[in-house]
Structures are given as C-alpha cells and as structure tokens.
C-alpha cells in the first residue's frame, strides 16, 4: 500500500509554476524533483494543503491565492533610499537584487524598483507576493521521514 502525503512524511514531486497569464515562473523539468518534509512549513501553505492525501503517481493542478502563497504586497516593505546606500556599486538599475540588513539586523533580499536622481526605490517583498500561483504537480514519491529529518525540520 502506498503512503498518502501527511505530517512527518517526505514527499517528492515535479512541478511547473505559472502565473495567471500562463508564463512559466519556475519548474523542476529536467532536474530533480522537489522533496520536502510535510508539516514543517518547507513549502507554501496552499500547496502543502493541496498535497495532503496524495500518493506517488498522483497529479494535480491547483491555483494558490496570495494569502496561501507569499502573501499580499506589504507597502511598508517598499522604501526610498539614497544612492549612497549602494556604496561600491557603479550603476544601480531597476531589477537589480541586493542583500540588505533590516533594522533588527536580519538579512533580507531587496530589489531595485526605480531610480530617480539620487533616490532609489527598493522593495523587500517576495518577488511573487500579491500573485496567485498556478501549480501543475506530479507526485513522484512519498516515504517515512527519518528521526533526524523530523528533528531538523527538513529533508536530508
């Protein structure tokens, strides 16, 4: 009898992620399947919920709303900073990504949204925040997690 995806099990799956226009945002095609420890918060909540009860060989298509994916865009994570904040960077342009430190010292990824004179608008939201996500998933394997995987909260 095959295992059904649930807490403390490791599931592996191939996926294709598209936006509502059908553009491919990410895919495991040509690579290894994604493996995760179910119930440990390793993947977005909406996808984890959709996978419950599936077994190896299952396939599904699911649309995940932003609140069950990377959340809505949070305006407080968009800021205007002076060009001097980018010391050592010769040419700051929209689309460039940097690692910055939050006021609490935590590393966060920021993306340059616009440059106007000496003002640079940066966004620390996840790049997929505010977007519904469409997954086409094929479950490859479901297995028991090892004690070490459960203790560490992720697949080894």
pLDDT tens, the chain, 156 aa long: 689 999 999 999 999 999 999 999 999 999 999 999 999 999 999 999 999 999 999 999 999 999 999 999 999 999 999 999 998 898 999 999 999 887 788 888 999 999 999 999 999 999 999 999 999 999 999 999 999 999 999 999
- State residue 1's pLDDT score: 67
For the chain, which domains are there? Answer: 9-70+128-152 (3.10.50.40), 75-123 (2.40.10.330)
3-state secondary structure 32-71: CCEEEECCCCCCCHHHHHHHCCCCCCCEEEEEECHHHCCC
CA angle, corner 100, sides to 97 and 102, nearest 5? Answer: 135
Query: 133-150: per-residue pLDDT in tens?
Result: 999 999 999 999 999 999
CA distance 39 to 111: 30
Rounded to the nearest angstrom, the gap between the alpha carbon of residue 73 and the centroid of all alpha carbons in its chain is 14
Global confidence as pTM: 0.84
Average pLDDT, whole number, for the chain?
95
């Amino acid at each position: 009898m095959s295992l059904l995806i649930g807490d403390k099990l490791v599931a592996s799956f191939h996926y294709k992620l598209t936006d509502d226009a059908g553009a491919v945002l990410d895919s495991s095609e040509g690579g290894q399947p994604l493996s995760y420890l179910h119930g440990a918060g390793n993947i977005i909540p909406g996808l984890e919920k959709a996978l419950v009860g599936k077994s190896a060989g299952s396939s599904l298509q699911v649309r995940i709303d932003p609140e069950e994916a990377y959340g809505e865009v949070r305006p407080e994570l968009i800021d205007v900073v002076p060009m001097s904040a980018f010391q050592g960077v010769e040419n700051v342009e929209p689309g460039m990504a940097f690692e910055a430190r939050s006021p609490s010292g935590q590393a966060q990824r920021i993306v340059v949204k616009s440059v106007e004179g000496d003002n640079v608008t940066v966004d620390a939201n996840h790049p997929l925040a505010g977007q519904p996500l469409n997954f086409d998933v094929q479950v490859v394997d479901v297995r028991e997690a090892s004690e070490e995987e459960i203790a560490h909260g992720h697949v080894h």
